[in-house]
């Protein structure tokens, strides 16, 4: 286009076309993971959601069962941004705004409701972290009234967040880290663990269960094999295995399927549990009275911090809900004694599922 001008640039069109063909082929493999957003939108001038976050927001909403309220989420994002003082929205501050927008949408709250009921709400942990000062100090400070509602009795920082970091003895802690996991974990793994401990624990547990899946072809990894489909897996230099799926039987009464395949030409069979054979979903009791504390959104009830008989002060942490990269610590809206724990950590909960009951 610029040939013959001083801005002309020599480009290898054949090379560019090779890149184009490559990404066209790759997209066929990864299309199930696309966000579903087919075009740009002028709404960006209203809600100011960064592009990367915008493409992730719909899958996140889908994971929380809120995809049908995506327009409300975008509107709430705009409202949250105003409530928080019109933040500079980059990772991770933009995620905090998104977490709060999801929280408001899942609980049918608007900005006025938050300001009215803020002292009784259990805000997402990322929101508390922002107002505490973990991401730094906002220019001009955060809105004072909202800050008091979010932090409750906690005082925000007045200095740099790194001044509150606990010093790390890398040599000592790295040795402990290798004992906790394996000696094969390197310093990069250690840094990943220190930055994202729960994510690394999950990754390591999957690695221990399945080993290194990197050699698997992408299509086989994501979608599995079709009957009579054959793949070559390169394990290393001069090391390859040939696998061909023959067929998979229907599940028996216990949900077990027999998988017949060829491994380097030899027919083998293994038994595999079909986890989709029978629904094990449990309908939990819902929180309906003032003395019953339920989950504010659907997700994983990762931990319960109290036990029966505990006398709890207002704003004390009760349990944690994890959902789509968002962690929320649910606190006590009043003082009281724990009468019953209805659900323990490690179960999936729906919104309003009863977790704790007070006397």
pLDDT digits (tens, 9 = 90+) for 96-118: 999 999 999 999 999 999 999 99
- Whose CA is closest to 341, among 313, 316, 318, 315? 318
Comparing 139-143, 190-194, 309-313, 342-346, the range with the smallest average pLDDT is 139-143
Question: Mean per-residue pLDDT for 200-229?
Answer: 91
Location of structure tokens 């184009």: 20
Instruction: Give the long-range contacts of residues 173-177, CB within 8 A, separation 24 or more.
Output: none
Average pLDDT of every residue of the chain: 91
CA distance 246 to 42: 51
CA distance 265 to 250: 24
Residue 5 token pair: 């001008």
Question: Mean per-residue pLDDT for 9-22?
Answer: 89
Report the length, in residues, of the chain.
359
Question: Mean per-residue pLDDT for 274-290?
Answer: 81
* Residue-level pLDDT at 166: 87
- Answer whether residue 39 shows pLDDT above 80: no
What is the CB neighbour count within 10 angstroms for residue 118?
16
- Give a three-class secondary structure readout of the chain: CCCCCCCCCCCCHHHHHHHHHHHHHHHHHHHHHCCCCCCCCCCHHHHCCCHHHHHHHHHHHHHCCCHHHHHHHHHHHHHHHHHCCCCCCCCCHHHHHHHHHHHHHHCCCCHHHHHHHHHHCCCEHHHHHHHHCCCCCCCCCCCHHHHHHHHCCCCCCCCCHHHHCCCCCHHHHHHHHHHHCCCCCCHHHHHHHHHCHHHHHHHHHHHHHHCCCCCCCHHHHHHCCCCCCEEEEEEECCEEEEEEEEEECCCCCCCEEEEEEEECCEEEEEEEECCCCCCCCCCCCECCCCCEEECCCCEEEEEECCCCCCEECCCCEEEEEEECCEEEEEECCCCEEEEEECCCCCEEECCCEEEEEEC
* Residue-level pLDDT at 9: 79
Give the residue, 242 or 283, on which the prediction is more confident: 242
Radius of gyration of the chain (CA): 26
Comparing 108-117, 168-177, 275-284, the range with the smallest average pLDDT is 275-284
Question: Mean per-residue pLDDT for 285-293?
Answer: 94
| Backbone phi and psi for residue 236, each to the nearest 5 degrees, phi listed first | 175, -175
- Answer whether residue 1 shows pLDDT above 70: no
Domains of the chain (ranges; CATH) run 43-162 (1.10.472.90), 166-210 (no CATH), 218-273 (3.10.600.10), 292-358 (2.40.50.100)
* Residue-level pLDDT at 31: 81
* Residue-level pLDDT at 331: 93
- Answer whether residue 293 shows pLDDT above 60: yes
Confirm if 47 and 78 have CB atoms less than 8 A apart: yes
What is the CB neighbour count within 10 angstroms for residue 57?
22
- Answer whether residue 279 shows pLDDT above 60: no
- Answer whether residue 249 shows pLDDT above 90: yes
Per-residue pLDDT band for 52 (boundaries 50, 70, 90) equals: confident
* Residue-level pLDDT at 281: 58
pLDDT more than 70, % of the chain:
98
Model confidence, pTM = 0.67
Give the residue, 271 or 36, on which the prediction is more confident: 271
- Answer whether residue 40 shows pLDDT above 80: no
- Answer whether residue 2 shows pLDDT above 80: no
- Answer whether residue 266 shows pLDDT above 60: yes
Residue 243 burial (CB < 10 Å; 0-12/13-18/19+)? middle
Q: Treating both helix axes as pointing N-terminal to C-terminal, what angle do 93-106 and 70-83 enclose, rounded to 10 degrees?
A: 120
Per-residue pLDDT band for 171 (boundaries 50, 70, 90) equals: very high
- Answer whether residue 197 shows pLDDT above 70: yes
Q: CA separation (Å) from 119 to 46, 150, 238, 283, 314? A: 29, 7, 65, 30, 10
Per-residue pLDDT band for 268 (boundaries 50, 70, 90) equals: very high
* Residue-level pLDDT at 303: 93
pLDDT digits (tens, 9 = 90+) for 62-85: 888 898 999 999 999 999 999 999
């Amino acid at each position: 286009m610029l040939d013959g001008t001083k801005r002309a640039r020599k480009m290898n069109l054949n090379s560019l076309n090779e890149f184009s063909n490559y990404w066209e082929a790759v997209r066929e493999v990864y299309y199930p993971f696309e966000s579903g957003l087919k075009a740009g939108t002028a709404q960006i001038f209203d809600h100011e959601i960064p592009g990367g976050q915008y493409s992730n927001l719909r899958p996140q909403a889908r994971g929380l069962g809120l995809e049908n309220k995506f327009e409300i989420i975008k509107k709430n994002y705009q409202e949250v941004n105003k409530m928080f003082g019109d933040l500079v929205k980059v990772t991770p501050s933009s995620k905090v705004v998104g977490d709060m927008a999801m929280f408001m949408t899942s609980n049918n709250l608007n900005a006025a409701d938050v300001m009215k009921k803020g002292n009784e709400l259990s805000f997402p942990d990322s929101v508390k972290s922002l107002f505490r000062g973990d991401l730094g100090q906002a220019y001009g400070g955060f809105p004072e009234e909202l800050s008091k509602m979010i932090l409750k009795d906690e005082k925000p920082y007045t200095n740099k967040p790194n001044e509150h970091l606990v010093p790390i003895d890398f040599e000592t802690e790295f040795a402990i880290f290798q004992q906790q996991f394996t000696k094969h974990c390197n310093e990069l793994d250690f840094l990943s663990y220190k930055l994202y401990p729960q994510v690394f624990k999950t990754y390591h547990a999957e690695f221990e269960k399945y080993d290194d899946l990197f050699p698997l072809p992408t299509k086989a990894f994501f979608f599995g094999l079709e009957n009579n489909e054959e793949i070559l897996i390169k394990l290393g230099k001069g090391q390859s295995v040939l696998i061909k799926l023959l067929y998979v039987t229907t599940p028996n009464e216990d949900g077990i399927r027999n998988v017949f395949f060829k491994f380097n030409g030899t027919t083998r069979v293994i038994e595999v549990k079909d986890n989709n054979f029978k629904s094990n979903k449990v309908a939990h009791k819902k929180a309906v009275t003032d003395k019953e504390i339920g989950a504010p959104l659907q997700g994983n009830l990762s931990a319960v911090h109290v036990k029966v008989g505990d006398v709890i002060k207002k704003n004390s942490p009760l349990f944690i809900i994890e959902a789509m990269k968002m962690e929320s610590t649910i606190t006590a809206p009043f003082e009281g004694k724990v009468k019953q724990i209805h659900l323990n950590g490690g179960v999936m909960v729906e919104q309003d599922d009863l977790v704790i009951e007070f006397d």
